[in-house]
Structure 1
């Protein structure tokens, strides 16, 4: 998906089924007016990538590296953000995760999700959520001892994209250009968790309920006809709707197939009656997701291990900046968010 057009197929609530507050790997409605990549794929059944593709820790690590590098370049809300990232990206060495791919040029639909750790005393809804979309808030409710995360941004593409560049591209898009949220700032990074979802095993469904909760994500597409009367004559016009939910959404919300499809119809922007007649017209494609998550703490620990392997006798706390210069080619350069360098970035980075 292009950086300017957010799309997230996760917990946008529908009026019908009840909804728990849970963050998802994606949340945003995909209506007929949305951008092509997510709202209107070229067909109802996108060409499937290799079913053996798997999301990896290295992909998540690259997301944190990419975001921290971008934030440390300056104002993330600048109009030059997109072009500066592309110029920077073209100069970087091949990311570590690419080395594990069977084909470096392989393409796959994907979504990148950022969740933010919720403070214990905070409100259920994230304070950074734009007011016009505050019903999109979500949180992972588990046990009191388990950290609770809230959705902070999710953008992806249902059209296959080259993994070589798209992991970093969508890491920035979801963090900085999800229109439901203010751009992520440097001060928030230590509270973030990233999820990489690769969409695989696309199959055309026999009907819109031909899929399994907890296993499949679904992409629906349907067209309605509107008749309008004018000057004694009637005119017919059609409108196409589409939307998607990632595999984990239905189970997290406690929905069965019909409830999930009903919610997805509402998410697409359709406000008419959802009856059996409408359900029979829906084209549905199911898919599965290979998903991997990484918290900021896990990212920091991974980075420390990488640096110890390169300079085992060097103290990271005493020579942070020097290491950044010496570790040329290593992902994670200048991505520390705890020292003086971070504080300078935090004050120079603004959110809209």
Structure 2
């Protein structure tokens, strides 16, 4: 029986990732998901391995997608890919399973920020787009990165910010548009550079908001000194992550409980 949907990451999502990996190692068919497999979210699957000495778990694999995927298909694909095809690590083996923990992150609430500081550390991930500085384009070549919308005044002398439009995925967000002629771009450079960081990255690195935006610009391919003019000209969007994490032991107990019902 499928669990009711709350829009949150559920333990059953992570249990299913363990099921997928176990089936791949055993060479058997994947069991059916115990949740609504047709709900769609951008998602990431993370595998950590617990230390035998009791220290902090170490990353063992993490891969995902920023397009909205049906949960049944997306979790199956990225549970397998992050376990066996993350090039930073050796593929997971059967002997690794008892020390593994699985994290599932469902990405939600994609919104365009009013400016590059319109997001919260530890709450939001950011997606930063900016005009490629190598093109030396005039400011008018790009669309306005964002605008602050307000509702009419209620008579109190102040305007109330209107709710931000929310999008289902990164690919659905309005994009930074840049008009570039062939003469302005003879080397066929990318007109817009972009990069993203998940919500947990900036706090883990000890970054401020400015640090995170600058790091995203460097990750996007810019090698120079980031200026405040570049930050103000960028389009920054924000999103949130609904996460769940389970251990191999919890998965085993859940399997035993499910099989006895």
The TM-score bracket by the shorter chain reads 0.7 to 0.9
Task: Tell me whether 1:105 sits opposite 2:38 in the alignment.
Answer: yes
Give the match for residue 10 of structure 2. Answer: 56
**How far does the alpha carbon of each residue in 1:248-299 deviate from its partner, in whole angstroms, 9 at most, with x for none?**
2222222221111222222333322212122123211101111000011111
**How far does the alpha carbon of each residue in 1:40-62 deviate from its partner, in whole angstroms, 9 at most, with x for none?**
xxxxxxxxxxx951000000100
Query: Using a 3 Å threshold, how does the CA distance of structure 1 residues 66 and 255 change in structure 2: closer, same or farther?
Result: same
* Contact 1:227–1:235 under 8 Å retained in 2: no
Query: Using a 3 Å threshold, how does the CA distance of structure 1 residues 119 and 242 change in structure 2: closer, same or farther?
Result: farther
Query: Using a 3 Å threshold, how does the CA distance of structure 1 residues 269 and 189 change in structure 2: closer, same or farther?
Result: farther
Aligned-partner Cα distance in 2 for 1:158–1:300: 30
* Contact 1:227–1:237 under 8 Å retained in 2: no
Unaligned runs of 5+ in 2: 137-184
**How far does the alpha carbon of each residue in 1:170-226 deviate from its partner, in whole angstroms, 9 at most, with x for none?**
111111112222222222111111111001111101122210011111111223143
Unaligned runs of 5+ in 1: 1-50, 74-84, 99-103, 121-145, 229-233, 311-352
Match for 1:209 among 107, 111, 117? 117
> Which aligned segments of 4 or more residues in structure 1 are displaced greater than 6 angstroms?
none
1:143-222 to 2 correspondence within 5 Å?
147-222=55-130
1:167-316 to 2 correspondence within 5 Å?
167-226=75-134, 235=186, 237-239=188-190, 240-307=192-259, 309-310=260-261
Instruction: State the TM-score, normalized to the length of structure 1.
Output: 0.55
Instruction: State the TM-score, normalized to the length of structure 2.
Output: 0.72
Secondary structure (helix, strand or coil) at the match of 1:183 reads: coil
* Contact 1:226–1:236 under 8 Å retained in 2: no
1:16-165 to 2 correspondence within 5 Å?
53-73=7-27, 88=29, 92-93=31-32, 95-98=33-36, 104-120=37-53, 147-165=55-73
Query: Using a 3 Å threshold, how does the CA distance of structure 1 residues 211 and 227 change in structure 2: closer, same or farther?
Result: closer
**How far does the alpha carbon of each residue in 1:35-86 deviate from its partner, in whole angstroms, 9 at most, with x for none?**
xxxxxxxxxxxxxxxx95100000010000101111122xxxxxxxxxxx9x
Aligned-partner Cα distance in 2 for 1:176–1:154: 10
C-alpha root-mean-square deviation of aligned residues, in Å?
A: 2.5
